[in-house]
Amino acid sequence: MQWLIYIFLIPMVVLIGGGIIGLYAKGVDRKFAAYYQSRIGPPLRQPFYDIGKLMQKQTIIPENAVGWIFSGAPFVALASSVILLVYILVPYFAWIGDFNFFFSKSGDIILILYLLMIPSIALVAGGFASGSPYATLGAQREMVILMSTELPLAVTAVTFAWRLSHVAPGASHFSLVTMSFHPLWSGMGPFGILGGMLLALSIAVVIPAELAKIPFDQAEAETEIAEGLLAEYSGKYLAFYQIADGVKSLAVISLAVILFFPNGFVQMTGYRIAPAGYDITLLLDVVIFMVKVFLVYFVSVTTVRIAMARLKISQVAKLFLVTITVMCLAGYVLITLDPVIRTL
Amino acid sequence: MDKTITYPLQIGPTHPAFKEPVRFSFKVEGERVAGVDIDLGYTHRAIEVISKERNFIQTIYLLERICGICSVSHPMAYCMAVEDASGIEVPPRARYIRTIIGELERMHSHLLWAGVAAHEIGFDTLFLYTWNIREKVLDCLEQFTGNRVNYAMLTIGGVRRDLTDDLIPVIEQTLEYYLEVYQRTSEILLDDQSIRYRCEGTGILTYDQAVALCAVGPTARASGLAKDVRVDYPMLAYPDMDWLKPITPLDIGKEPAGDVYDRMVVRVLELKQSVDIIRFCLDNLPEGPIASINGSIKIINKLKKVQGEGIGRYEAPRGEVAHYDILDMSECPVQMKVKAPTYSNAFAWVPMLQGSEIADIPIVIASIDPCIACADRMTILRDDGATETLNAEYLHSLSVNKMKEVKSRCSG
């Protein structure tokens, strides 16, 4: 019976916690961007005010929209984002904190890659169903972005799994926990490090595309297609999308942190902190993790989005399908070759 | 899949990309534009009709409000038209002061355009940067004329306020500031890779098209068509500047391609040119009166005795603005016609947009620096909602009849 409680309780906790942290991350992002643009910027709590306001507003369903898809899509987006975050964060913290329960063995990278697509697919379905030409255009663009970022992500996942099959032959190679247990950088030669850096760089480019931030916000391009996918959404549904976006940002960035910088306090220092008999190492780890998340968010989202113009959708497809995929494959080859070269 | 499906896409009358209402009907194949139709007329304010009920002085302030950005260009062309008709001389000092205000306005207009263009392609940091440095010239204009826009500086036969000695250092400081930031601004606008990705090769207007469609201003110059009213037509202080020549992308050694990037190049270079022109004017500012007739009443009394027609042309930041006025023994213009730069450039939108991507639409539309409020001159309203297409012959016969009517009203 205990697993039943876990199944219902943990997603609830993650929804509330992830929503709050994700929205605060948005606020921090806006504040930093404002600083760079010599503005004052909104208060950190602005995303919460926005959602509070949207919740009170009238929710309009367009006349020629497909009602049930239109109104179902925001819930699917939010639910899948939360599940995604559960499968990314809970096994990781279970591993860090040395717990052993229902979620600690579940969740592998293939599942996460598929879950990662669901919020976007929900957005696309909602866009197509809203019956507005702008939303249709946005949905088409979102599909292109979705498909072109898939290949780099898949190559990255395969690279990690391949490496685990060498480093830890017994463990399950696609599990995120195993990946955290054997960080990419440990026991690597210069070739492997270079390959890992290529992978990290390509994931850093994929992150803004997953989060629909400039230069990859074609699906919502404000000055081109008037918020595109979200053109017809209002009120509660828009608020749900915004929460889902916050949760998904946190999930995507957490995934990057877990893949590339997984070490917690114990792994870094080898000590546990336990003043007066209370073990607060896990608390410390949460703080360290949050700092990493905000740093990655800042580097790969905020600084990029203030320093670039929006690309065209054809340029995006070319960038991901050619440049980034080649970078990923190069990283894959380098990491594969690393053990061979070191034995020479 | 050889069969392509086209579908209609309406952009406007209100859309985040447009600062003023204008409607574009596109035929789209996927992400490619297959057909364009432009529908102007959403901001018609009947300025030409109103001006018939205002006296010559009131009309100046009415025309300042045709457009918030060209608030010197329109009254300038109007004053020149009335001066042309009545033979009122403008003293040299007034001509220099008019040149200075016009060039200050050009600087702020080009900076505003750069910000708008950056916003259209999603580069908000650059948008805020250019608008931030634009504040300096607005402050300067405010100190000089008393207002950030709508300066109320011009009058028929001169200017209303003198450029006093304590204002000269203020303007010089502003110019100094722009020379300082010019390097950085031009680097960001012209060398930034993501801007080049978006602007190079988009919205191409070839030399031949520019000639055929009578493009004006930076739009024409970016296509290699070296025309600039400041050089081609004797007015204000410009004839004194032998070194002045129209700016084309050739000035930075680039073959004009007529794309959005070239229009950016022309505007950035004109920023520098404006600084040079104002420097020249400050150095060679003649002494003397600032207006040939003092007092509005005297001006109106003189114009009341005049019969004739006049044309005034001025190079607004967006291109040539021309005003045509008829004076006929009355204290109001009997008839006036405003030809705004956007009126000429709007037709260039069609070849620019044909075959471009949807993503290019906002930046291509913004690239001619449209001023819809300037261009809207006529609206046809039908009670039953029917639409009527006006062809060239009909419009021509309308103009001929109108001219006959105006001539019959003029005594003699």
CATH number of the domain within which B188 lies = 1.10.645.10
pLDDT digits (tens, 9 = 90+) for A94-146: 777 666 666 666 678 888 888 888 999 998 998 888 888 888 888 888 888 88
Query: Is a pLDDT exceeding 90 seen at residue A49?
Result: yes
- CB of B394 within 8 Å of a chain A CB? The answer is no
Q: For residue B106, give the nearest of B141, B142, B65, B56 by alpha carbon.
A: B141
pLDDT digits (tens, 9 = 90+) for B375-401: 666 556 666 666 666 667 777 888 888
In a domain, B142, yes or no: yes
In a domain, B382, yes or no: no
According to the model, what pLDDT value does residue A48 have? 92
pLDDT digits (tens, 9 = 90+) for B328-374: 888 888 888 888 888 888 888 888 888 788 888 888 888 888 877 66
In a domain, B25, yes or no: no
Average pLDDT over residues B106-115: 91
Q: What is the mean pLDDT of chain B?
A: 85
Complex-level ipTM beyond the 0.85 threshold: no
**Cβ proximity of B68 and B43 under 8 Å:** no
Give the CA dihedral A41, A47, A49, A51, nearest 10 degrees.
150
In a domain, B225, yes or no: yes
**Cβ proximity of B313 and B229 under 8 Å:** yes
- CB of A319 within 8 Å of a chain B CB? The answer is no
pLDDT digits (tens, 9 = 90+) for B192-220: 888 888 888 888 888 888 888 888 888 88
Query: Is a pLDDT exceeding 60 seen at residue B1?
Result: no
Question: Which residue among A226, A307, A309 sits closest to B198, beta carbon to beta carbon?
Answer: A309
- Percentage of residues in chain B having pLDDT higher than 70: 94
Residue B218 and residue B371: Cα distance in Å, rounded? 14
In a domain, B292, yes or no: yes
What domain count does chain B have? Answer: 1
Question: Which residue among A224, A310, A315 sits closest to B17, beta carbon to beta carbon?
Answer: A224
What angle is formed at CA A122 by the lines to CA A120 and CA A126, rounded to 5 degrees?
115
In 3-state terms, chain A is what percent helix, strand and coil (to 5)? 75, 0, 25
According to the model, what pLDDT value does residue B307 have? 86
CB contact under 8 Å between A310 and B195, yes or no, is no
**Cβ proximity of A251 and A25 under 8 Å:** no
- Residues of chain A contacting B31 with CB distance shorter than 8 Å: 137, 140, 313-314
Q: How many beta carbons lie within 10 A of that of residue A329, not counting itself?
A: 16
Instruction: Tell me the count of A-B CB pairs closer than 8 A.
Output: 80
According to the model, what pLDDT value does residue B390 have? 64
Listed range (A81-90, A95-104, B285-294) with the worst mean pLDDT:
A95-104
In a domain, B12, yes or no: no
AA letter at B22: V
- Domain boundaries, position B215: 47-374
Half-sphere exposure of B146 (CA within 13 A, CB side): 8
CB contact under 8 Å between B17 and A223, yes or no, is yes
Q: For residue A231, give the nearest of B9, B115, B349 by alpha carbon.
A: B9
In a domain, B14, yes or no: no
Nearest CA in chain A to B198: A311
pLDDT digits (tens, 9 = 90+) for A198-252: 888 888 888 888 888 888 887 777 777 777 788 888 888 899 988 998 899 899 9
In a domain, B387, yes or no: no
Name the minimum distance, in Å, from the CA of B189 to any CA of chain A.
11
According to the model, what pLDDT value does residue A53 have? 92
Listed range (A11-25, A195-209, B393-407) with the worst mean pLDDT:
B393-407
- Percentage of residues in chain B having pLDDT higher than 90: 9
Per-residue pLDDT band at B275 (split at 50, 70, 90):
very high
